[in-house]
Amino acid sequence: MNRRTFLCGLTLAPLAAPLAAEGQQGRVPRIGVLAPGGPTPGTLPMQVFDAFRQGLRDLGYVEGQTIVIESRWDEGRPDRYASLAEELIRLNVDIIVAGTTGATVAAKATKSIPIVMAATGGDPVRLGLAESLTRPAGNVTGLTLQTYELPGKRLELLKAALPSLSRVILFRHPASPSPTEITEYERAARTLGLQLQTMEVRGPEDFDAAFHAAVRSKAQAVVMIQSSLYATYRAKLASVALKTRLPTMSGETGFAQDGGLMNYGPNIPDSWRRAASYVDKILKGTKPGDLPIEQPTKFELVINLKTAKALGLTIPQSLLLRADELIR
């Protein structure tokens, strides 16, 4: 080795060390999130997003250092999911976490990027998102909020609160695919001897007209299919329902706390927190198609007694004893 070669080696050595270290550490993974609502502190959308971030922290990830989150919010407009999903796909994120059924369907435009459902309300198999719950086989896995028993259970609880109940209106948002859920509601209604009418409610500007239409149709209660729109505007829905004196049932966590009569279903923030474990496994090399889709096993019934009193309802003691939480 001559003197010039030796000196060049000394000069390049300090530069080579950081480059080698960077190569060993690898690129920081980027997680795209399609979330309902907006990033307003204290709201349910932020609660579920924070639950997901906490789930990542519990697994040892440090945001901005060992993982980067690219969040996209629908701002209460589920029809935006297609364009938001396109943004994340163009960014070539490592994983897309989808917060609703509509978000998952939109994200499915990619066949290569793994998709983790954080709180999908529809049946992923019947929606064509997975071959089966135990072995999804494609690029979609995660958690679904849907079980076949939920629609019937919500109607059953509503009828327990209103023994004379005979006619119910079912609100749905057209951007939230829910044919299976509607079928299950219809089946349960027949079993319980209820007349069920489905009504599309597209945005908050339609709430007043929808509830007044329900009153004109002689409906005695309203049930809402889970949607990012209805989750974002829970308080407004509850307020209009109270003005029109219609009891309401929702699957959205926090609906009763915001003034609705009842909500029944899985805890949505907990579902988002658990989605972090799917992200972790995929980043460590597990194929999404090999990860079973998880169904909820724990459900919460919350009843707002202040709303019941305002509506002139007396909730039977037998139902109160079944509640996980009573808002007084």
Q: Which residues contact 253 (CB under 8 A, 6 or more apart)?
A: 44, 263, 265, 266, 267, 268, 269, 300
**DSSP assigned state of 193:** T
Partner residues linked to 214 by β-bridges: none
- Residue closest to 256 by CA, chosen among 276, 277, 288, 234: 234
From residue 67, alpha-carbon distances to 13, 29, 53, 327 in Å are: 29, 5, 10, 39
Q: What is the pLDDT of residue 120?
A: 85
pLDDT attached to residue 127: 86
285: phi > 0 → left, psi -120 to 50 → alpha, else beta; which?
A: left
Token pair 């060993």 is at which residue?
A: 24
**What is the pLDDT at residue 177?**
59
In 10 A of CB 102, how many CB atoms? 30
Largest CA distance in the chain: 99
Taking alpha carbons only, the member of 3, 5, 299, 27 closest to residue 157 is: 299
Whether residue 319 contacts residue 303, with contact meaning beta carbons closer than 8 Å, is answered with yes
Full pLDDT tens readout for the chain, 328 residues: 444 444 344 343 333 333 333 333 568 999 999 999 899 888 888 999 999 999 999 999 999 999 999 999 998 888 899 999 999 999 999 999 999 888 999 999 999 999 999 988 778 998 899 999 999 999 999 999 877 789 999 999 999 999 999 999 999 988 765 677 888 999 999 999 999 999 999 999 999 999 999 999 999 999 999 887 888 899 999 999 999 999 999 999 999 999 999 999 999 999 999 999 999 999 999 999 999 999 988 899 999 999 999 999 999 999 999 999 999 9
In the chain, what are the domains?
28-145+267-290 (3.40.50.2300), 150-265+300-327 (3.40.50.2300)
Give the pLDDT of residue 22: 36
How far apart, in Å, are the Cα atoms of 106 and each of 39, 80, 109, 176, 213?
20, 9, 6, 11, 31
- Look up tokens 């994983």; give the residue: 95
The 300-304 sheet, strands edge to edge: 195-200, 167-172, 221-224, 248-250, 262-265, 300-304, 325-327
Q: In the prediction, which pLDDT does 76 show?
A: 81
Predicted pLDDT at 17 = 34
Torsion of CA 30, 31, 35, 38, to 10 degrees: -30
